[in-house]
Amino acid sequence: MKKMKKHLSVVILVLLLVGVTLGFSALSANLNISGTSRISSSSWDVHFQNIAITSGSVTATTAPSTSNGGLTISYAVDLAEPGDFYEFTVDVKNAGSVPAKLNALPTVSGVSSAQSVYTTYTFTHTDGTAIAVGETLAAGASKNFKVRVEYKSDIQPSQLPTSAQNLTLTVAMQYVQA
């Protein structure tokens, strides 16, 4: 009887092992995924366009022009007396198919720290609000901005420059894919 129990235990153990193996093979399977995908063409084209000089501005010695793929505007101006200003509006156009995001604040350069005592130089939205990093520009859209350099009118006589000051100014923006 002991021998029979041993044989029966071995047979049950073998059947159990075979059952577990068959169960595992029945529950495991190869998963194959196939399909097709299409990647559409995209284009990147963010640039300045439509520069319009504001009425009342002094005449620039060098009119605003774009460079660096349309992301930089350079110009030169002489401001003769307090209150003189040079101002223009410009569109930033996203002519590409990819949304764009402003990666850093626009840079305005060409006014030294000594000149900033009697000169203000700003680049804002046309309503005067500040521009923020992260602003987006949808594909096909444009935004209008205002650039202004001004000889301050609220300065003291001691702050006036002692010689003529020619300003060669630059505005630049850096957009990246949104």
pLDDT digits (tens, 9 = 90+) for 131-170: 999 999 999 999 999 999 999 999 888 888 888 888 999 9
- Domain positions in the chain are 46-177
Residue 143: predicted pLDDT: 96
Q: For residues 135 and 156, is the Cβ–Cβ distance under 8 A? A: no
How far is CA 27 from each of CA 2, 21, 120, rounded to the nearest angstrom? 37, 10, 75
Q: Residue 51 phi/psi, 5° resolution?
A: -75, 125
Taking only the tens of pLDDT, the chain with its 178 residues reads 777 777 777 777 777 776 667 666 666 666 677 778 877 788 999 999 999 999 999 999 999 999 988 889 999 999 888 999 999 999 999 999 999 999 999 999 999 988 999 999 999 999 999 999 999 999 999 999 999 999 999 988 888 888 888 899 999 999 999 8
* DSSP β-ladder status, 72-78 and 107-109: unpaired
pTM: 0.75
Q: For residues 155 and 107, is the Cβ–Cβ distance under 8 A? A: no
Q: What is the CATH number of domain 46-177?
A: 2.60.120
